[in-house]
C-alpha cells in the first residue's frame, strides 16, 4: 500500500466533516470578507485589538483561577496568600499575573480608543445605533471587571478602594435605597469575606459570560451592517 500524501488525509478529514455539517461553507463565509480600502487605516484596528486583549484576559484569567483562593477569612487571608503564591512560587506566575494586570489596564485604554474612532468616523449613526448601545454596555461590563478584579488580591489598597467604590454605589437617595445597594454589594454590614465572594463570582462567572455573549452580538451586527463608511 502506497503511503498517502498528507493532503489526502486532510481532504479525507474535511470531506468527512463536510458531509455532516457544511463547515467549509460556514468558515468561508466567516473568513473571506473583503475589507474596504478606507478600513485599512490603523485606527480601524482598535476594535480588533480590544478583542485580542479580551481573549488574552480570558486565557490568563483561567490560568490565575487555578491557584487563586477566594477566601478572605483570617489574617493574612487565604486570598492574599494565594496571590503571593502565584507571584512568588508558581512557575511564571509573575508573568501570567503581570499579563492579566497590564492587559486589564491596556484594555480600558484600547476600548476608549476604539470608542473614539467609532465616534470620530460617525460609525454610530443609523442603522448602527444598536451596536453602539451594545458597545456602551460592554464598556460598563469592562469597568465592572476592573472594579471586581481590583478587590481580589485582598490587600490594603484593594480593601479600601472597594470600600470607597461601594460607598459611592450606596450613595443614591433615599438613604434606604443606598443602604440596600450597599448591603447587596457587600453581602453584609461591612466589606468582608462575603464581599470578596460576590466580587469573585461576578469577575469569574457572571461578567465573562455576559461579555462573550455581547461580543458575539457585536460581531454579528458588524457583519450585518458592514464596516461603516467614513464621513
Partner 1 sequence: MADAAAPRLVTRRTFLGWWMAVILTSLTAAGVLPILVYLWPAPPKGQKKGPVSITLDKPITQLNDGEAVKFNAPTNPNTAFIMADGGGDNAPGDLAFGGFAVKNAGKVDVLAINCSHLGCSVALNDAAKTFDCPCHGSRFHLDGTVLHGPAAYPLSHLTWKQGDNPSTIQVDGIVLGF
Q: Which residues of this chain interact with partner 1, rule CB under 8 A?
A: 73, 75, 163, 167, 175, 183-184, 186-190, 192-194
For partner 1, the closer CB: 172 or 226: 172
- Rg from Cα positions in the chain: 23
From the list 63, 103, 60, 48, the residue with the least C-alpha distance to 215 is: 48
**What is the closest distance, in whole angstroms, from the C-beta atom of residue 186 to partner 1 in the complex?**
8
- Shortest distance (Å) from residue 202 CB to partner 1: 12
Shortest distance, position 14 Cβ to partner 1, whole Å: 44
Handedness of CA 161, 163, 168, 169 (dihedral sign): positive
57/148 with CB nearer partner 1: 148
CA distance 164 to 119: 32
- Give the shortest CB-76-to-partner 1 separation in angstroms: 13
Nearer to partner 1, 103 or 193 (CB): 193
Nearer to partner 1, 155 or 163 (CB): 163
Question: Minimum distance from CB of 196 to partner 1 (Å)?
Answer: 11
What is the number of other CB atoms lying within 10 angstroms of the CB of residue 71? Answer: 17
Cβ distance 214 to 138 under 8 Å?
yes
Identify the burial level of 111 via C-beta atoms within 10 angstroms of its C-beta, where 0-12 means exposed, 13-18 middle and 19 or more buried: buried
Rank residues 109 and 180 by Cβ distance to partner 1 and give the closer one: 180
Instruction: Pick the closer one to partner 1 by CB: 145 or 159.
Output: 159
User: Could you tell me the smallest distance in angstroms from the CB atom of residue 142 to partner 1?
Assistant: 23
Cβ partners under 8 Å of residue 35, min gap 6? 227
Distance, CA of 98 to CA of 87 (rounded, Å): 9
Euclidean distance between CA atoms 143 and 101, whole angstroms: 14
Amino acid at each position: 500500500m502506497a503511503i498517502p500524501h498528507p493532503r489526502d488525509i486532510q481532504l479525507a478529514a474535511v470531506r468527512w466533516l463536510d458531509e455532516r455539517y457544511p463547515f467549509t461553507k460556514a468558515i468561508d463565509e466567516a473568513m473571506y470578507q473583503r475589507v474596504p480600502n478606507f478600513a485599512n487605516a490603523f485606527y480601524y484596528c482598535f476594535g480588533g485589538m480590544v478583542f485580542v486583549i479580551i481573549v488574552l484576559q480570558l486565557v490568563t484569567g483561567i490560568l490565575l483561577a487555578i491557584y487563586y483562593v477566594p477566601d478572605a477569612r483570617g489574617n493574612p487571608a487565604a486570598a492574599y496568600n494565594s496571590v503571593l503564591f502565584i507571584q512568588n512560587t508558581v512557575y511564571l506566575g509573575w508573568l501570567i499575573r503581570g499579563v492579566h494586570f497590564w492587559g486589564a489596564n491596556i484594555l480600558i485604554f484600547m476600548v476608549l480608543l476604539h470608542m473614539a474612532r467609532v465616534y470620530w468616523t460617525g460609525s454610530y449613526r443609523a442603522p448602527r445605533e444598536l451596536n453602539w448601545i451594545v458597545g456602551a454596555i460592554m464598556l460598563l461590563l469592562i469597568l465592572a471587571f476592573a472594579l471586581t478584579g481590583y478587590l481580589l488580591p485582598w490587600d490594603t489598597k484593594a480593601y479600601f478602594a472597594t470600600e470607597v467604590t461601594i460607598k459611592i454605589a450606596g450613595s443614591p437617595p433615599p438613604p434606604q435605597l443606598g443602604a440596600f445597594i450597599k448591603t447587596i454589594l457587600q453581602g453584609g454590614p461591612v466589606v468582608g469575606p462575603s464581599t470578596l465572594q460576590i466580587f469573585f463570582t461576578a469577575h469569574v462567572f457572571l461578567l465573562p459570560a455576559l461579555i462573550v455573549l455581547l461580543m458575539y452580538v457585536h460581531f454579528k451586527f458588524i457583519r450585518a451592517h458592514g464596516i461603516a463608511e467614513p464621513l
